[in-house]
């Protein structure tokens, strides 16, 4: 291994950095708590609870596990609950974390759905929801903007064209997701592979 | 809809969709909109925008907009079916892949695939923003509110919840 690759990982691990693996109930409660705290995204709260508060994983282990969940399809934080729980406590731990993450907010959402079905046409509620919707779209645009900045800085034309292509195909032409991704994923992987080889050569 | 059991339609729709939801929940919103509003007519344009707003305002993963769609289709069983169909298949996939990859030898391909998926998921999220804006920002005031929130959220670290509540206040005041 070269000296410049992740020097922190070379240091001897502190055995005291790890807390003993939690029980199933503790896992369920921890994920329920981070889920209910997680307005506008659970990830920040998950990281705080798992790394800082409970010390179930080191920061490096967390990043590594999250990278995997980010690369797989589906809701990342849900994947993360299953993977984290199972790393700590086997498949039962995975199920406990998964249930803890999803059960309380699902109950809340169902109650909200019932309220919406009954009162969704009330004028005041309509207006409030319209205002919240506008703000929610603004937040989404901000997230897209922040994610796009590194790509814009690198001015990677091929990557930007790929991004624009997916945007037009889904957002403007409204083509089915599967069809678009079945073309876009192989193309993007191919392009990325070729660019890596060019850089390496 | 009589020819097809709505619960099964929810399960097959969201189960399949979750496996293609590259880049998380926000990237799947255009497809949810296409299926729920355009293909099956489960919801109106307005109801979908409301569902997105409610999901943003509520605690928990934002993917739970599927709970609201499921409820609109088939009540409480629909809400549960949609939620599990969207969340369980990929969580199990993640479980098996994480076990496979726990040997560090083949770490090159995940990194490469992850890099390749980044522009695609940004494109998908931008498409979400466009589709939602088309149903939400129908007045100049609404468009301005969206633009304002986008700018403030881009340049500051303010908690998103405050911006959502501010939006609700503007709506309550009848400005948008």
Q: Is A178 near chain B, with CB under 8 Å?
A: yes
Question: How close is the nearest chain A Cα to the Cα of B5, in Å?
Answer: 21
- Helix (H) / strand (E) containing A166: helix A157-167
Structure confidence at residue A107 (pLDDT) = 96
| DSSP assignment string, A70-104 | HHSSS-HHHHHHHHHHHHHHHHHHHHHHHHHHHHH
User: Are B127 and B133 within 8 A, CB to CB?
Assistant: no
Q: How far is A16 from chain B (nearest CA, A)?
A: 23
The residues in A 57-96 lying below 8 A from B, measured between CB atoms, are: 65, 67-83, 86-87, 91, 94
The tens place of each residue's pLDDT in chain A, 201 residues long, gives 333 333 344 334 444 457 788 899 999 999 999 899 877 668 778 888 888 889 998 888 887 777 778 778 888 889 999 999 998 899 999 999 999 999 999 999 999 999 999 998 899 999 999 999 999 999 999 988 988 888 888 888 989 999 999 999 999 999 999 899 999 999 999 998 998 888 777
- A167-170's contacts with Cβ under 8 Å and 24+ in sequence apart are A167/B123, A167/B124, A167/B126, A167/B127, A167/B130, A170/B30, A170/B31, A170/B123, A170/B124, A170/B127
Best CA proximity match to B87, nearest among B170, B15, B4: B15
Give the distance from residue A133's alpha carbon to the nearest chain B alpha carbon, in angstroms. Answer: 5
The pLDDT of residue B105: 53
Residue matched to tokens 């299953």:
A82
Of A87, A131, A160, the CB nearest to B171: A131
In chain A, which residue's Cα lies nearest the Cα of B63?
A75
Q: Cβ separation of A38 and B60 shorter than 8 Å?
A: yes
Under a CB-based contact definition with an 8 Å cutoff, are residues B7 and B78 in contact? yes
Q: What percent of chain B has pLDDT over 70?
A: 94
A137 touches chain B (CB under 8 A): yes
Residue from the list B59, B92, B151 with its beta carbon closest to the beta carbon of A35: B59
CB contact (8 A) between residue A171 and residue B131: yes
pTM reported for the whole predicted model: 0.83
How far apart (Å, rounded) are the C-alpha atoms in residues B49 and B36? Answer: 12
Confidence at B37, pLDDT banded by 50, 70, 90: very high
Q: How far apart are CA A6 and CA A124, in angstroms?
A: 55
């Amino acid at each position: 291994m070269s000296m410049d690759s992740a020097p922190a990982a070379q240091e001897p691990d502190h055995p005291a950095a790890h807390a003993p693996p939690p029980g199933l109930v503790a896992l369920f409660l921890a994920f329920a708590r981070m889920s209910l705290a997680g307005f506008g995204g659970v990830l920040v709260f998950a990281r705080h609870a798992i790394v800082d508060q409970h010390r179930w994983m080191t920061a490096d282990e967390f990043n590594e596990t999250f990278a995997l969940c980010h690369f797989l399809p589906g809701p990342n934080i849900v994947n993360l609950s299953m993977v984290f729980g199972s790393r700590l406590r086997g498949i039962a731990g995975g199920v406990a974390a998964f249930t803890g993450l999803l059960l309380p907010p699902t109950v809340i959402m169902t109650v909200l759905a019932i309220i919406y079905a009954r009162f969704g046409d009330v004028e005041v509620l309509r207006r409030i929801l319209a205002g919240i919707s506008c703000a929610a779209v603004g937040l989404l645009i901000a997230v897209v903007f922040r994610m796009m900045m590194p790509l814009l800085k690198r001015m990677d034309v091929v990557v930007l064209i790929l991004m624009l292509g997916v945007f037009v195909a889904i957002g403007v032409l409204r083509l089915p997701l599967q069809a678009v991704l079945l073309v876009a994923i192989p193309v993007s992987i191919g392009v990325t592979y070729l660019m890596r080889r060019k850089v390496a050569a | 809809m009589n020819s097809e059991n709505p619960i099964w339609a929810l399960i097959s729709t969201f189960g399949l969709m979750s496996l293609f939801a590259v880049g998380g929940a926000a990237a799947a919103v255009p497809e949810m909109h296409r299926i729920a509003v355009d293909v099956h007519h489960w919801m109106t344009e307005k109801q979908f925008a409301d569902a997105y707003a409610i999901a943003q305002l509520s605690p928990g993963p934002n993917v739970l907009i599927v709970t609201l769609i499921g409820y609109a289709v088939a009540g409480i069983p629909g809400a549960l079916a949609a939620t599990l169909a969207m969340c369980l298949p990929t969580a199990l996939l993640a479980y098996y892949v994480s076990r496979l990859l726990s040997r560090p030898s083949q770490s090159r391909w995940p990194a490469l695939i992850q890099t390749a998926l980044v522009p695609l998921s940004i494109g998908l999220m931008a498409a979400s923003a466009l589709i939602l804006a088309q149903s939400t920002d129908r007045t100049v005031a609404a468009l301005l509110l969206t633009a304002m929130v986008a700018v403030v959220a881009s340049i500051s670290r303010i908690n998103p919840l405050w911006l959502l509540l501010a939006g609700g206040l503007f709506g309550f005041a009848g400005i948008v």
